Amino acid sequence: MRRLVTHQDGPVGVAVGNGHLYWADNNSGTIMAANLDGTGVTTLVTGQAEPTGVAASGGHLYWADNGGGTIMAANLDGTGVTTLVTGQNSPTGVAVNSSHIFWADYSADTIKRANLAGTGVTTLVSGQTGPVGLALKGRHIYWANLGGGTIVAASLAGTGVTTLVSGQPLPEGIAVG
């Protein structure tokens, strides 16, 4: 195993896009970037309370600020930081498609969605057990339930909720290829 980036304080949530790696550094309250080979480490955004779950799509970065209860966005270079959604309990994982941003709200045990402008917030799925990392593939959303030890899927409309894997010790992230 080769380490691409070292000396990070609390890296969580990794995204790849536009030839770069992006991640949240939870303990330092920053959103970071590097080239795919680990060179050129750059701080893009500072001053976040407890950033988690990063997604890159369409020239923008999206992340959850767990400590601030917000869903945030910025340009890929870190400029234009915008608060999209406020008032969330403890947002964690984030995933984005061409029309919506999705996130897990850990302590509310829900999966939520809003349009890319942050309006139209909808609870897609409730009754989960500590949902965290999210991934999208086609017409489905996938997430890990940290408290329940499960990997779960549903349609992008929140229907057809299906437990795919159970009995996992503390699943925190997910990727779908």
pLDDT in tens, 98-133: 999 999 999 999 999 999 999 999 999 999 999 998
pLDDT in tens, 48-98: 999 998 999 989 999 999 999 999 999 999 999 999 999 999 999 899 999
pTM: 0.93
What is the Cα–Cα distance from 62 to 55, expressed in whole angstroms?
5
What is the Cα–Cα distance from 122 to 100, expressed in whole angstroms?
11
Domain boundaries, the chain: 11-128
Domain 11-128, architecture per CATH: 6 Propeller (2.120)
